[in-house]
Amino acid sequence: MEFRIADTFTDSLARLTAQEQKAAKTTAFDLQLDPTSNGLSFHKLDRAKDSSFWSVRVNADIRIIVHRTAASILLVYVDHHDDAYKWAERRKIERHPTTGAMQLVEVRERVEEVEIFKPKDTPVAPAPAAPSATRLFDNLRKFELMAFGVPEEWVSDVRSATEDTLFDIIEHLPQEAQEALLKLAVGEKPQPPEPAPALADPFAHPDAQRRFRVLTNAEELKQALDYPWDKWAVFLHPAQAELVERSFSGPARVSGSAGTGKTIVALHRAVYLARINSDATVLLTTFSKALANSLRLKLTSLAGNEPQISRRVVVKAISAVGYDLHAERFGQPQIASPSLIRSLITKAASEVEGHRFSPQFLVGEWDDVVDAWQLRSSEAYRDVSRLGRKTRIGGKQREALWAIFERVRAGLAERGVVTWSDVFGRLTDSLTPTALRPYDFAVIDEAQDLGVAEARFFAALAGERSDGLFFAGDLGQRIFQQPFSWKALGLDVRGRSYTLRINYRTSHQIRLHADRLLPATVSDVDGNTEGRRGTVSMFDGPPPLVMECRDAEHECGAVASWIKDRLNQGCSPGEIGVFVRSGLELKRARAAVKAAGARAVELSEKVEMEDGAVAISTMHFAKGLEFRSVAVMACDDDVIPQSERIEAVADDADLEEVYNTERHLLYVACTRARDHLLVTGVAPVSEFVDDFLKGR
């Protein structure tokens, strides 16, 4: 007998108390062990529209709803007695007549209109006609809507949907129908899937596998119940699954705006590679330790019941990859601090005459050109393209500059310290064609923030393996690195770059406003373009709130009141995040959380979120996180874009890059929110806030 679990079951299980969950899990294990056991109390739901719905008694009040046939048991819902029965009475499980996918369908409630007859001598004035809203799908016929997975009984409602009623209607529909209708509503023309053969297993359909999962043993069930996973971590969208399992002829990259599931695709890709290559070691890496820890937890929930797989997926931050490999091959590296490098540059500049370069320019030139590209000679510096550096310099100027940077390199060598680019450069040089690779495959998340040296290292790591590298990232979230040519380093993803369009994490309203901070399309140096047009969010929500405050005290009170409202409406402290531009503004975040009567935890590389505390951090540490509610504070005119960065620009032409990355930072912070977003600042507020409201 097949034993299945629906995503609706895990969702409902997570809403129970800890004690209720424990009891429900025990009953679920008993069901899987022996569904015919006399100890199980089955009760047929006579009022349910689906004759295969039964309830199973957990205790005096909790009931599990199962779909029971002679060949299978499917766990579909769990709740208190009356609520569980009401839920089941409004649902049925059936094979869609057009697509062939098994669906959990909400039964359409029908309200019969009763005509009230009035005496003929009582005139009734006709009601004024209300202006009719445009129907979004009135031009589509029944069979066309059903081809997208719309259940037959919901076709009339869908055809009557307007912009105001769309989200009210689609929340009753299966996910594949929701996605198709949202794309149609924004002008896209999605292709309906090929109908499954008449005799095909409806549970094997890709759309069905997004909501129903077969569990083959007790260990799989334990994983499913112990980890209240984000359902997107397990129920992959068919388009995502196709990318996960595709065989590529070279490096591949998946992109998409915040919340479209890039990280989940990367996670599944790593597991898939380990599964089909039984002797391979797969590296799953990202730019920070905090995000690596998050990936490690997701890996446990996804592949924890397959130890032979999870052991061969190594999860590390990119810096940890470099440090550990360098320590293993050459000894532990001593990393030079940014302050030491700045002091060496200042000292060297004072010793070289005949130049007029500012300290800010010299530090940028070192970081973005000399150190990034691992230049070791005046000839190499003379010939480098300096892509991303707007200030033009001639041959004589380069000679003077190299005299400075040569002294800096000598100073680092004298102290026995190296930069991170040195670490990855030395590792790259060691990866000769015949050298043994430490990893067979590498999956890199948040790839938009790769530096030159790291990108070159991964190109060398792949060697001759055509599908050895898989990148996931969003150019609109690039906040750390200057742009450079991946193609020049051997990472040509042209023709193997794919964009995800379905946003699962952020409400329609929040995504719409956040996207106004960025251009409609963003291109990299190699001409690969990532567009936000056509991206749709899967759910509706309240519009973001924006407040221009009189002073910091007014802002503190406003944010505190907002946090209190979120807590009073059922949001736990751990589901709230407060972000600011830099460490200088963190005290404003602390004060607001304290005024709300909550406890704050400041996130960093070493400190992670806590369930009982509101998370506060700079926008940089917001990357990769998500919260039900987010407040972005201190969006003052001199805070974002950060005045220090603007003042440090050595050439007016470089201002564009500063403004771009500052916009990206605000975009990252705002798109951490799922349901509620508050943006505040002290007057005058940042010009970006006006863009957020009205667009550029």
What's the chain's average pLDDT? 88
- Residues 547 and 635 occupy one common structural domain: yes
Residue 366 lies in a domain: yes
Which pLDDT band, with edges at 50, 70 and 90, does 217 fall under?
A: confident
Residue with tokens 């937890």: 297
- What pLDDT is stored for residue 233 in this prediction? 54
The Cα–Cα gap between 213 and 57 comes to 23
The Cα–Cα gap between 39 and 339 comes to 70
- What pLDDT is stored for residue 122 in this prediction? 44
**Residue with more model confidence, 6 or 131:** 6
Tell me 332's DSSP state.
-
- Residues 552 and 659 occupy one common structural domain: yes
- What pLDDT is stored for residue 546 in this prediction? 96
The answer to which of 94-98, 168-172, 570-574, 657-661 has the lowest mean pLDDT is 657-661
- Residues 570 and 683 occupy one common structural domain: yes
- Annotated binding residue 261: yes
- Residues 434 and 386 occupy one common structural domain: no
Residue 407 lies in a domain: yes
The Cα–Cα gap between 461 and 663 comes to 33
Asked if pLDDT for residue 104 goes beyond 70, the answer is: yes
**Residue with more model confidence, 424 or 306:** 424
* Domain edge (last residue) among 478, 503, 518: 518
Residue 371 lies in a domain: yes
pLDDT tens digit string along 311-333? 999 999 999 999 999 999 999 99
And the tokens for 270?
A: 């790593």
In this prediction, residues 398-415 reach a mean pLDDT of 95
Give whole-number Cα distances, 461 to 325, 352, 407, 430, in Å: 12, 39, 31, 10
Residue with tokens 């797989």: 309
- What pLDDT is stored for residue 481 in this prediction? 63
Residue 154 lies in a domain: no
| Most confident residue range from 411-420, 657-666, 685-694 | 411-420
- Annotated binding residue 263: yes
Asked if pLDDT for residue 133 goes beyond 80, the answer is: no
pLDDT tens digit string along 609-654? 777 899 999 998 888 888 999 999 999 999 999 888 887 776 655 6
Domains identified in the chain, total number: 4
Which pLDDT band, with edges at 50, 70 and 90, does 110 fall under?
A: low
Which pLDDT band, with edges at 50, 70 and 90, does 428 fall under?
A: very high
- Annotated binding residue 257: yes
- What pLDDT is stored for residue 565 in this prediction? 97
pLDDT tens digit string along 340-371? 999 999 999 999 988 888 888 899 889 989 99
Residue with tokens 């005096």: 60
Q: What is the CATH number of the domain that holds 26?
A: 3.30.2310.20
- Residues 631 and 509 occupy one common structural domain: no
- Annotated binding residue 100: no
- To the nearest whole percent, how much of the chain has pLDDT over 90? 59
Write the single-letter amino acid at 249: S
- What pLDDT is stored for residue 326 in this prediction? 97
- Residues 584 and 618 occupy one common structural domain: yes
524, 483 Cβ separation under 8 angstroms = yes
pLDDT tens digit string along 142-156? 999 999 999 999 999
- What pLDDT is stored for residue 113 in this prediction? 43
Asked if pLDDT for residue 339 goes beyond 90, the answer is: yes
- Residues 312 and 459 occupy one common structural domain: yes
* Domain edge (last residue) among 392, 417, 442: 417
- What pLDDT is stored for residue 606 in this prediction? 66
- Residues 641 and 547 occupy one common structural domain: yes
- Annotated binding residue 347: no
* Domain edge (last residue) among 502, 518, 534: 518
**Residue with more model confidence, 67 or 183:** 67
Which pLDDT band, with edges at 50, 70 and 90, does 129 fall under?
A: very low
- Residues 440 and 577 occupy one common structural domain: no
- Residues 607 and 560 occupy one common structural domain: yes
Residue 140 lies in a domain: no
- Annotated binding residue 322: no
Which pLDDT band, with edges at 50, 70 and 90, does 123 fall under?
A: very low
In this prediction, residues 51-56 reach a mean pLDDT of 95
And the tokens for 144?
A: 């066309």
- Residues 216 and 235 occupy one common structural domain: no
Residue 293 lies in a domain: yes
And the tokens for 551?
A: 């002073």
Asked if pLDDT for residue 231 goes beyond 60, the answer is: no
The Cα–Cα gap between 295 and 273 comes to 16
The Cα–Cα gap between 301 and 219 comes to 12
Residue 600 lies in a domain: yes
In this prediction, residues 361-389 reach a mean pLDDT of 87
**Domain span at residue 577?**
542-694
- Residues 547 and 622 occupy one common structural domain: yes
